[in-house]
């Protein structure tokens, strides 16, 4: 389990392999505002469950806003909704019971369109009869197909074509200068463009106007999120991504979902924050496979073999000027001081009914935490 923060200050949590805990220690000015998805559906990678709350108020329509008091504490239980352990691909079994909603076409996952249906048929023809019944093998084949047929681009194809039109009017020398290309093409502050252009080195073998535009715009779009607003109003449906032959992570993830569903694999769109050296907001997909449950696939990066998703974080809570100190409690990462404090909080939160019945509230949680000492 790990925490990550994006450029806007929102917190993302990468769930661990098993149930874990987050202890939030508040001051009087601290706030936490959770997404209701994490609290109620768990569709965002994990479910958040409040275990104990002391000197902290709850507000908001769904009571998912926490306002601290001095010395306030809240213990949250984090229940993973995705599988994070090792996987034996050959052992996966297709199971669609109760998951019919994850097999339907939608506006974004439009697998009934001619182009997506054609791609689906091609992928299906590459699978043997037994492979078609293994959701991990099918999904792996879809990732390979997307990698071979869809080019990553951080801006829409229409924007690349627009810039290519400008490049055509430039001199040979100007065509090799990323700043000139960016500054000529769009009315954006030149000081911002200069900073971006400094990090772009145009390879000698990229000479075609469209290829130059694609390279420069793709690099610019990945440096500080410049030009990400170009996607406003653009359709990033599965069919649009497929027909253009290029798209960013959102379009590639939606194409993956559409193809998976068309081949009978329960699948849902997912996204959040991808940590690591080139970290940033990202989109991927989750497919359902027994005996593992929901398994994460990243069609943009083509990763699946080890199923190690420690850098893939789901939205935890929203940006706040002042937020509580967070302590992560899991089997591989716990301090005795935190454990003693949490166990004491749980033991002091028994309730009258439990005392009358002679039962111990939070017994399983206390036993688990005591085992970490």
We report the CATH number of the domain holding residue 244 as: 3.10.620.30
pLDDT for position 219: 80
Domain co-membership, 290 together with 242: yes
Please give the pLDDT value at position 296.
92
pLDDT at 135: 96
Q: Does 41 share its domain with 147?
A: no
Q: Are the CB atoms for 35 and 68 separated by under 8 Å? A: no
Same domain flag for 77 and 110 = no
212, 231, 250: which is the final residue of a domain? 231
Domain containing residue 213: 157-231
* Alpha helix segments (H runs only) across the chain: 36-40, 114-125, 135-149, 157-167, 178-185, 190-197, 209-222, 238-244, 249-262, 336-347, 352-357, 363-370
Examine the fold and report which residue of 259, 276, 308 is the final residue of a domain before the chain moves on: 308
pLDDT value at residue 50? 86
Mean pLDDT, 10 residues at a time, the chain of 373 residues: 79 87 88 68 75 84 76 88 87 94 94 95 95 95 94 82 88 90 74 84 91 85 61 72 89 96 95 77 92 92 66 81 82 67 76 64 76 68
State pTM to two decimals.
0.83
Query: Alpha-carbon dihedral of residues 112, 115, 116, 119, nearest 10 degrees?
Result: 130
Which tokens is 5 given?
Answer: 């923060």
149 and 197 both lie in a single domain: no
Regarding whether 124 and 27 lie in a shared domain, the answer is no
Pair (46, 13) in one structural domain: yes
Residues 21 and 39 occupy one common structural domain: yes
- Asked if 272 and 362 sit in the same domain, the reply is no
Same domain (yes/no): 114, 73: no
**Residue at a domain's end among 308, 334, 359:** 308
Same domain, 262 and 281: yes
Question: In this structure, are 174 and 60 located in the same domain?
Answer: no
Same domain, 60 and 73: yes
Partner residues linked to 284 by β-bridges? 270
Number of domains the chain is built from: 3
């Amino acid at each position: 389990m790990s925490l990550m923060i994006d450029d806007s200050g929102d917190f993302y949590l990468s769930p661990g392999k098993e149930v874990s805990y987050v202890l939030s220690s508040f001051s009087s000015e601290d706030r936490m505002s959770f997404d209701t998805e994490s609290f109620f559906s768990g569709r965002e990678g994990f479910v958040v469950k409040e275990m104990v709350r002391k000197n902290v108020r709850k507000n908001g329509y769904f009571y998912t806003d926490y306002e601290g008091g001095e010395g306030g504490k809240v213990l949250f239980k984090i229940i993973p909704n995705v599988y994070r352990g090792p996987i034996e691909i050959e052992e996966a079994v297709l199971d669609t019971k109760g998951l019919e909603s994850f097999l339907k076409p939608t506006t974004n996952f439009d697998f009934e369109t001619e182009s997506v249906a054609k791609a689906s048929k091609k992928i299906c023809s590459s699978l043997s009869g037994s492979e078609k019944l293994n959701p991990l093998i099918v999904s792996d084949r879809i990732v390979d197909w997307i990698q071979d047929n869809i080019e990553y681009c951080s801006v829409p194809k229409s924007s690349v074509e627009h810039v290519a039109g400008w490049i055509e009017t430039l001199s040979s020398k100007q065509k090799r200068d990323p700043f000139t290309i960016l500054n000529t093409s769009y009315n954006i502050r030149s000081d911002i463009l200069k900073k971006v252009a400094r990090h772009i080195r145009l390879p000698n073998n990229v000479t075609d106007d469209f290829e130059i535009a694609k390279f420069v715009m793709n690099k610019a779009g990945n440096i500080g999120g410049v030009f990400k607003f170009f996607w406003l109003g653009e359709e990033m449906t599965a069919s649009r991504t497929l027909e253009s032959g290029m798209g960013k992570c959102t379009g590639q993830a939606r194409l993956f979902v559409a193809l998976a569903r068309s081949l009978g694999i329960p699948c849902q769109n997912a996204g959040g924050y991808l940590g690591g050296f080139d970290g940033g907001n990202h989109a991927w997909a989750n497919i359902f496979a027994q005996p593992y449950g929901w398994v994460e696939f990243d069609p943009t990066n083509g990763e699946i073999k080890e199923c190690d998703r420690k850098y893939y974080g789901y939205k935890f809570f929203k940006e706040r000027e002042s937020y509580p100190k967070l302590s992560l409690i899991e089997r591989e990462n716990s301090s005795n001081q935190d454990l003693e404090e949490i166990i004491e909080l749980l033991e002091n939160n028994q309730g009258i009914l439990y005392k009358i019945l002679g039962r111990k509230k939070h017994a399983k949680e206390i036993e688990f935490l005591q085992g970490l000492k």
